[in-house]
Structure 1
Amino acid sequence: MCNDYRLEVDIASIAEDFDDLQIKIDMPEGTPNVAAREDIKITDMAPIVRSSEGAALGELVNRRWSWPGPTGKPVYNFRSEGRDFSSHRCLILCDGFYEFTDSADKAQKRLDKWLFTMKDHRWFCMAGIWRQYDGGEAFTLLTMDAGPDIAPYHHRQIIPLARDRWADWLDPRVPAADVLGWLPEGSLEVTQVFGQPPAQGALAL
């Protein structure tokens, strides 16, 4: 499951792309102060666009990745199957995400790290939801069974959304089943990067 992703694209470029797609977003808390990061980890603060009840379709804000689950472990992934998500939807901004596999070199005591990027776009959005918790607000990444680009690396995957699905995901009137799905085979490119073990002690629901 995805417990590490990347965002190195500046917020100005992201806002410009939303404008080009005619997706109106507000920044109710001001422009998020976001530094380029090769690794965004569980419990980090990161930018999302959450659905809005105002004139804009979404709000660009900084929020924590994961909220504490019943046992206190952070909920960083959330199964999408059988759920409609009629509220609290969000888009998680990224330009790549990572998966880990056992190293082909059995002598290595680490996992191989693989970076997935979108073939035709510099950055993209992953489907998520957000909620309030005692410490404020947080988001989690939705998951589904792995599609053809990710299945060789993991049996589950997060849900990258094509650009023509972003507005629909922010609109709770659009059924989740009409939005969430695999990208066409070949949409994602994968590159092996330096390996490291994934974070432990987290909860994927």
Structure 2
Amino acid sequence: MCGRFALYDIPRVRRSLRLILGEGFEPLAVPPRYNVCPGYWVTAAWHPEEDAPLALGQLWWGFRPQWATGKAPEPINAKCEGVATSRYFRSSFARHRCLIPADGWYEWLTLPDGKQPHFLCRNDREPLWLAGLWTHRADGNPGCAILTEPARGAAAEIHDRMPLALDDASLEPWLDPQLTNREVLRHTVHHLDDSLLTHWPVSRRVNHPGNDDPSVIEPISVG
């Protein structure tokens, strides 16, 4: 799953997106964040409307379509294996896809003395582009969920699932609202090579959302 991540190198994120998708993005006026939690605004790239230019702005991390009522769930993740056919996600999968940039994410490894958090990122420290879906919510705000897939490479050492991080060639087609055929998407969009992933243990201070500073991503010794 992906329930916590970090986004702190904002200039590199904007530079990466500009190199891949071209010019036209306003500078992001957001602070670096080392402990991003669900139920908050997150930075994302998406088309607010099908014919609108690509935007780089904020989505609420919590997915609940306008038509969902009562005690309908508000998931933060969606398994990529079922989003194309799920009643909850299929409309967004067809036309409301987005990208959530991250410098890395956190997973917890179960040890005899409790769960040990690890920070997972690219070994070259380039931004990760996490595949997401967005929807119009009843409160008028756009909300999103991050897609997950079975864990691969170094990530599989920590958890059985991981966020779906895309390779550079997949970013433009993933964001294209005109590309709605799921078979074409399946053959066009590819996840990041797992050889690029690495991880290290970090302080359990990250367990508390209020601890949002560079120290929570620093490696520690365990055992």
Alpha-carbon separation, structure 2, partners of 1:163 and 1:121? 14
**Counterparts of residues 146-157 of structure 1 (less than 5 Å):** 146-157=151-162
Letter in 1 for 2:78: F
Helix, strand or coil at the partner of 1:19: helix
Picking from 27, 36, 40, the partner of 1:40 is 36
Once the two structures are superposed, residues 69-96 of structure 1 have per-residue CA deviations (whole angstroms, 9 ceiling, x without a partner) of 7635531001111444211000001100
Shift of 1:120: 2.8
Indicate whether 1:21 and 2:47 are aligned: no
Partner residue in 2 for 1:117: 121
Q: Residue 100 of structure 1 contacts residue 197 of structure 1 at CA under 8 Å; is this kept in 2?
A: no
Indicate whether 1:6 and 2:6 are aligned: yes
Q: Residue 34 of structure 1 contacts residue 46 of structure 1 at CA under 8 Å; is this kept in 2?
A: no
Partner residue in 1 for 2:203: 194
Partner residue in 2 for 1:96: 104
Shift of 1:182: 4.0
Structure that is richer in strand per residue: 1
Picking from 192, 197, 210, the partner of 1:183 is 192
Helix, strand or coil at the partner of 1:114: strand
Picking from 133, 136, 156, the partner of 2:137 is 133
Once the two structures are superposed, residues 104-146 of structure 1 have per-residue CA deviations (whole angstroms, 9 ceiling, x without a partner) of xx2x3x4111111112343121000100112211111011222
Structure 1 unmatched ranges of 5 or more: 200-205
Q: Residue 116 of structure 1 contacts residue 188 of structure 1 at CA under 8 Å; is this kept in 2?
A: yes
Q: Residue 155 of structure 2 contacts residue 198 of structure 2 at CA under 8 Å; is this kept in 1?
A: no
Structure that is richer in helix per residue: 2
Shift of 1:5: 0.2
Alpha-carbon separation, structure 1, partners of 2:162 and 2:188? 15
Partner residue in 2 for 1:71: 71
Aligned length: 190
Alpha-carbon separation, structure 2, partners of 1:125 and 1:93? 5
Partner residue in 2 for 1:169: 174
Change (3 A) 1:71 1:24: farther
Alpha-carbon separation, structure 2, partners of 1:184 and 1:17? 17
Structure 2 unmatched ranges of 5 or more: 85-92, 210-223
TM superposition score normalised by structure 2: 0.74
Alpha-carbon separation, structure 2, partners of 1:177 and 1:92? 19
Picking from 160, 164, 167, the partner of 1:159 is 164
Shift of 1:99: 0.8
Instruction: Provide the identity percentage.
Output: 21
